[in-house]
Amino acid sequence: MRTYLDFEKPIAELESRIEDLRGMEKSADVNVNDEISRLEVKAQKLLSDTYSNLTRWQKTSVARHAQRPHFCDYIEGLTEDFTPLAGDRSFGEDEAIVGGPARFRGRSVMFIGHEKGRDTESRLKHNFGSARPEGYRKAIRLMEMAERFHMPVVSLVDTAGAYPGLGAEERGQAEAIATCTEKCLGLGSPLISVIVGEGGSGGAVAIAAGNRVMMLEHSIYSVISPEGCASILWRDAQARGDNKAPDAAEAMKIAASDLLELGVIDQIISEPLGGAHRDVKATIERLGDAVEHAIHDLEDLSPEELRKQRREKFLNIGRVGLA
Amino acid sequence: MNWLSDITPPGIKKIFRNQSDSGDTLWTKCPACSEMIFNRDLEANLHVCPSCDHHMKIDVTERLNALFDDGKWKKIKLPEVAVDPLKFRDEKKYTDRLREYRKKTGEEDAIVIGVGKVDGVTTVVAVQNFAFMGGSMGMGLGEGIIRAAEEAVSRKAPFVMFTASGGARMQEGILSLMQMPRTTIAVQMVKEAGLPYVVVLTNPTTGGVTASYAMLGDVHLAEPGALIGFAGPRVIEQTIREKLPEGFQRAEYLHDKGMVDMVVPRKELRETLGGLLRVFTRHGVKAKPAAKPEKKADNETSNVTSLPAPTAKANDTVSKSGQDTDGLDKAAE
């Protein structure tokens, strides 16, 4: 059963008519083939028109789509012998961030990423992808391990943000994020980061300060969620009951194309027509190809060269290519 | 709280509060104990309430004047950055907000960088200005911190960072978020040069600022009662739907939880910093031991004696201190 987003209603209607006709095709002897193919062409065009003109707020809902591929789907589709490793070795295990070594297209690679979960049970288990300090400290541990075994690190980002809870604060959420970012920047292995869904604030950047930063076409990456931004900067309008999150999404320029233009990311990985959720398998392959290329480009650099490249890349953000 | 406020009904208190707040610029009322303080006394006391020790906000320049020896320091100009690259507009235009705060504070952005001597040690000090858009972190602030780190490295001087911020500057969107890794690089540059990086957390320090350079110090000092955290208390209360415990996310709490080395009253800050900076910047200076170490018969201790002798006393005759390139530091002792 496909979940349609609000703005996909006209597409949903067309597709349900096509389904109805298919049903008739079997039961009656009327020839509906022509009508079906006519509607299919129309539906494809509508889908393509809609998805090439998504507003940033619509992209936000695509990025959060319940059927969008998650970390575990990429691991299953792209790797062999993935061994999930658990725990930060000082307090606990946080399943909002999953990670471990695996074989990926002929190489050993360390995969780290946020996992939001798919159903109620797994969402609770993964805390909806909002990590606590233990998650970031586990990520640090895995990055250090990768460095020791000269393995590239691939991080897949998909989080609304780090978890704002009492225990998380108590155990040093800010310190964990800061140190994880520092680890990314000082890593002697290639680090390739892909924003696959939501790149929410510090909780995202903590594992995304890579040599190569990419985004899936309809993913978003922002300093605060559109809702959070609206509640602070549009306080009056929000208090009157107006939803200003769409305005905040527009103003903050959170789409992949914006970030490429601002020089914050290096590459956009295009999604299948109608978004990643329409063709999960193709999305996974495309991400795999982009990651493989990036690893190939970086794997011959020395640890020092990798650190230097990363540092220059981040120092150039805002200095180069802005009006 | 004094005995009077304990027995006065809230309604009555309100009447008096309104009266005392109106128009009188000679006096300031302590927000914690409601004591009326003569402004000149408050300034002399570095904006700490003389009756309850509540630490109020202190102007950036006043802080730097109080910190540097004889109030002497050189201001370092902030690098220029692209203005409003997102063409951001909420209920107001970002460029208008910027202009307003520049006029109000006389500063270019939410940070002031100074270099001078702290208790004899040449030091680069950056202070975040909460009065400038809540000390928010944007490109101007990020470049400022990088600039301050470079200044520290080129002078071989320690870097002291006073934090005060509500977090990221949303009007700069993702470019604001990118200051987290960028300022982290600044900290790495100082650390790689073997120089100390000391953070002084002041009220409030939250959000992306806490989750980057504010939590990466060699040493973390904090002012009493300062609110320090990643998520703001309001957000946490909404998430967990509970009232937060008294003192949560305050400097003393972070000290108890192992995130802050010391909670230091503002008046003692200069001395504490001075002591730390002297120890860190002179660690390589070798001094002659006061007396010859005793020789012992067994092999184990004879190994120990081959290690560098313990420093009994700082010895001024050795001038190579490993910092101080400009001669500013000669009067240190």
Phi–psi pair at A19, nearest 5 degrees: -60, -45
Q: Outline which parts of chain B fall under CATH 3.90.226.10.
A: 58-280
CA distance A187 to B107: 37
Minimal C-alpha gap between B323 and chain A (Å): 25
Q: Are residues A274 and A298 in the same domain?
A: yes
Structure tokens given for B271: 């001395």
Per-residue confidence of chain B (333 residues) as pLDDT tens digits? 445 445 545 444 444 444 444 455 799 999 999 999 999 999 999 999 999 999 999 999 999 999 999 999 999 999 999 999 999 998 889 999 999 999 999 999 999 999 999 999 999 999 999 999 999 999 999 999 999 999 999 999 999 999 999 999 999 999 999 999 999 999 999 999 999 999 999 999 999 999 999 999 999 999 999 999 999 998 899 888 888 999 999 999 999 999 999 999 999 999 999 999 999 988 666 777 777 666 655 554 444 444 444 444 444 433 334 344 343 443 333
Q: Are residues A70 and A44 in the same domain?
A: no
Q: What percent of chain A has pLDDT over 90?
A: 89
Q: Are residues A71 and A47 in the same domain?
A: no
CA distance B47 to B65: 13
Going by the annotation, the residues of the binding site of B are 30, 33, 49, 52
Asked whether the bond before A246 is cis by omega within 30 degrees of 0, the reply is: no
- Crossing angle of helices B60-67 and B266-281, rounded to 10°: 50
Which pLDDT band, with edges at 50, 70 and 90, does A90 fall under? very high
CA distance B272 to A280: 58
Q: Which residue out of B92, B177, B248 would a mutagenesis test of the A interface target, given it has the greatest number of A Cβ atoms within 10 Å? A: B177
| pLDDT 10s digits, A206-242 | 999 999 999 999 999 999 999 999 988 898 888 898 9
> Given B88, B248, B258, which is nearest A251 (Cβ)?
B88
Interface check B309 vs A, CB under 8 A: no
Which one-letter amino acid corresponds to residue B254?
L
CA distance A205 to A190: 16
Grouping H, G, I as helix, E, B as strand and the rest as coil, residue A269 is strand
Contacts of B229 in chain A (CB under 8 A): 169, 173-174
| pLDDT 10s digits, A98-125 | 999 999 999 999 999 999 999 999 999 9
CA distance B246 to B127: 28
Interface check B142 vs A, CB under 8 A: yes
Grouping H, G, I as helix, E, B as strand and the rest as coil, residue B321 is coil
Neighbours of B9 (CB within 10 A): 7
Structure tokens given for B212: 């980057």
CB B214 within 8 A of CB B128: no
Rounded to two decimals, the ipTM of the complex is 0.95
Query: Could you give the C-alpha distances from B140 to A204, B74, B137, B147, in angstroms and in order?
Result: 22, 19, 8, 10
Which one-letter amino acid corresponds to residue A12?
A
Q: Are residues A18 and A79 in the same domain?
A: no
CA distance B258 to A231: 33
CA distance B3 to B16: 16
Structure tokens given for A230: 């609206």
Interface check A213 vs B, CB under 8 A: no
Q: Please answer yes or no on whether B85 and A264 come within 8 Å at the CB atom.
A: no
Interface check B262 vs A, CB under 8 A: no
CB B121 within 8 A of CB B277: yes
How confident is the model at residue B321, as a pLDDT?
A: 40
| pLDDT 10s digits, A123-168 | 999 999 999 999 999 999 999 999 999 999 999 999 999 999 999 9
Cα-trace Rg, chain A: 21
Q: Which residue has the tokens 């609206």?
A: A230
CA distance B65 to B86: 36
Domain containing A185 — which CATH number? Answer: 3.90.226.10
Topology, domain B58-280: 2-enoyl-CoA Hydratase; Chain A, domain 1 (3.90.226)
Residue A252 within any structural domain of the chain: yes
Query: Could you give the C-alpha distances from B161 to A152, B131, B196, in angstroms and in order?
Result: 34, 17, 11
Residues 108-167 of A with CB under 8 A from B: 162-166
How confident is the model at residue B296, as a pLDDT?
A: 58
Q: Are residues A39 and A91 in the same domain?
A: no
How confident is the model at residue A283, as a pLDDT?
A: 98
CB B198 within 8 A of CB B161: yes
Which one-letter amino acid corresponds to residue A28?
A
Neighbours of B15 (CB within 10 A): 10
Question: SS3 for A157-221, per residue?
Answer: EEECCCCCCHHHHHCCHHHHHHHHHHHHHHCCCCEEEEEEEEEEHHHHHCCCCCCEEEEECCCEE
How confident is the model at residue B231, as a pLDDT?
A: 94
Q: Are residues A170 and A300 in the same domain?
A: yes
How confident is the model at residue B22, as a pLDDT?
A: 42
Q: Are residues A226 and A301 in the same domain?
A: yes
Query: Whole-angstrom distance between the N-terminal and C-terminal Cα of chain B?
Result: 43
Q: Which stretches does DSSP call E strand in B166-273? A: 197-205, 219-222, 262-263
Interface check B187 vs A, CB under 8 A: yes
Q: What percent of chain A has pLDDT over 70?
A: 98
Domain count, chain A: 2
CA distance A58 to A9: 13
* Final residue before a domain boundary, out of A53, A69, A87: A53
How confident is the model at residue B303, as a pLDDT?
A: 45
Query: Could you give the C-alpha distances from B276 to B113, B158, B197, B244, B271, in angstroms and in order?
Result: 20, 10, 11, 34, 9
Interface check A185 vs B, CB under 8 A: yes
Phi–psi pair at A75, nearest 5 degrees: -60, -45
Minimal C-alpha gap between B148 and chain A (Å): 14
Q: Are residues A154 and A29 in the same domain?
A: no
Q: Which stretches does DSSP call E strand in B145-196? A: 159-165
Q: What is the pTM of this model?
A: 0.88
Q: Chain A: residue nearest B212 by CA? A: A178
Q: Are residues A173 and A279 in the same domain?
A: yes
| pLDDT 10s digits, A73-86 | 999 999 999 999 99
Structure tokens given for A168: 């998380």
Residue A323 within any structural domain of the chain: no
Residue A321 within any structural domain of the chain: no
Q: Which stretches does DSSP call E strand in A60-129? A: 97-104, 107-114
Residue A269 within any structural domain of the chain: yes
Q: Are residues A246 and A171 in the same domain?
A: yes
Q: Are residues A43 and A152 in the same domain?
A: no
| pLDDT 10s digits, A258-291 | 999 999 999 999 999 999 999 999 999 999 999 9
How confident is the model at residue A322, as a pLDDT?
A: 78
Mean pLDDT of chain A: 95
> Given B85, B216, B257, which is nearest A182 (Cβ)?
B216
Element (H, E) at B115: strand B111-118
Give the residue, A28 or B23, on which the prediction is more confident: A28
How confident is the model at residue B283, as a pLDDT?
A: 65
Going by the annotation, the residues of the binding site of B for Zn(2+) are 30, 33, 49, 52
Structure tokens given for A259: 């970030």
Q: Are residues A186 and A96 in the same domain?
A: yes
Nearest Cα to Cα of residue A177 among A162, A156, A190, A189: A162
Structure tokens given for A207: 């594992």
Range of the domain at A202: 60-316
